[in-house]
Chain A
Amino acid sequence: MVVDGVSKRFRLYHERNQSLKATVMRKRRSVVEEFWALRDVSLEIPAGITFGLVGENGSGKSTLMKCITKILRPDAGSVTVNGKASALLELGAGFHPELSGRENIFLNGSILGLSRKELDRRLDDIVDFAGLHQFIDQPVKNYSSGMYVRLGFSVAINVDPDVLLVDEVLAVGDEIFQRRCQEKFIDLKDAGKTIVLVTHDLAAVTNLCDEAACLENGRLKVVDSARRVVDQYMNSMQDEGPAVEHESNGDRWGSGEGRIEHAELLGADGAPVTRPRSGQALTFRFHYQLDQPIDRPVFGMAVHTLDGTYLTGPNTRYTDCVPDRLEGRGHVDLHLDRLLLLPGTYDLTAVIYDYSCVHPYDHRHRAFRFNVDPGELRETHGMVSLGGHWSGPLPTRPRHQSG
Chain B
Amino acid sequence: MSSRQLMVNLTLRELRTKYKRTALGWAWSLLNPLAIMVIFTLVFRVFLKIEPPTGSPSGLKNFPLFLLCGLLPWTFLVNATNGSINSLVTNANLIKKSYFPRDLLVASQVVAWLISLAIEMSLLTLVFLIMGNFNLLYLPVVVLVMLALAVFLAGLSLALSAANVYFRDVQHFVGILFQIWFYLTPVLYPVSEVPDRARSLYGLNPMVGFVEAFRDCLYHVRLPSFARLGSLLLVSVFSFVVGLWVFNRMEGRLAEEL
Contacts and interface: CB of A to CB of B under 8 A. Distances in A.
Given A71-B97, A71-B255, A103-B16, A18 B5 contact: no
Nearest to A89: B97
Main secondary structure of the interface of B (DSSP, over half): helix
A87 B94 CA distance: 12
A19 B93 contact: no
Contact of A10 (B12, B167, B256): B256
A336 B99 CA distance: 52
B20 to A, nearest CB: 5
Contacts of A71: 95-99, 255
B256 A72 contact: yes
A99 B16 contact: yes
A93 B173 CA distance: 30
Contact of A111 (B6, B12, B21, B252): B6
Interface string B61-105: 000000000000000000000000000000101111111100000
A339 to B, nearest CB: 40
Interface string B92-126: 01111111100000000000000000000000000
Interface in A2-17: 10-11
A98 B255 contact: no
Contact of A98 (B6, B17, B99, B170): B17
B166 interface: yes
A70 B96 CA distance: 10
B255 A72 contact: yes
Given A73-B252, A106-B9, A90 B16 contact: no
A113 B2 contact: yes
Contacts of A114: 2, 5
Interface residues of A, number: 31
B252 A19 contact: no
A110 B9 contact: yes
Interface string B5-16: 110111011001
A110 B2 contact: yes
B253 interface: yes
A20 interface: yes
Nearest to A104: B13
Given A10-B256, A19-B169, A103-B13, A110 B98 contact: no
Majority SS of interface residues in chain A?
loop
A320 to B, nearest CB: 63
A21 B168 CA distance: 11
A163 to B, nearest CB: 13
Contacts of B20: 98
A112 B93 CA distance: 15
A115 B5 contact: yes
B97 A110 contact: no
Contacts of A20: 167, 169-170, 173
A107 B9 contact: yes
Contacts of B253: 73
Interface in A109-141: 110-116
A250 B173 CA distance: 61
A94 B5 contact: no
A50 B169 CA distance: 46
A338 B20 CA distance: 63
A23 B167 contact: yes
Contacts of A116: 5, 8
A103 B169 CA distance: 34
Most buried by A among B9, B170, B173: B9
B10 to A, nearest CB: 7
A69 B99 contact: yes
B230 to A, nearest CB: 36
A304 interface: no
A200 interface: no
A66 interface: yes
Contacts of A112: 98
Nearest to B96: A71
Most buried by B among A18, A87, A116: A18
A317 to B, nearest CB: 59
A89 B98 contact: yes
A94 B98 CA distance: 8
Interface of B: 1-2, 5-6, 8-10, 12-13, 16-17, 20-21, 91, 93-100, 166-170, 173, 252-253, 255-256
Given A94-B98, A99-B13, A111-B100, 14 more contacts: A18-B169, A19-B169, A20-B170, A23-B167, A66-B255, A71-B98, A72-B256, A73-B252, A89-B98, A98-B16, A99-B17, A107-B9, A110-B6, A114-B2
16 contacts: A19-B168, A19-B169, A20-B169, A70-B99, A73-B252, A90-B93, A93-B98, A94-B98, A98-B16, A98-B17, A98-B21, A107-B9, A111-B6, A111-B100, A113-B2, A115-B2
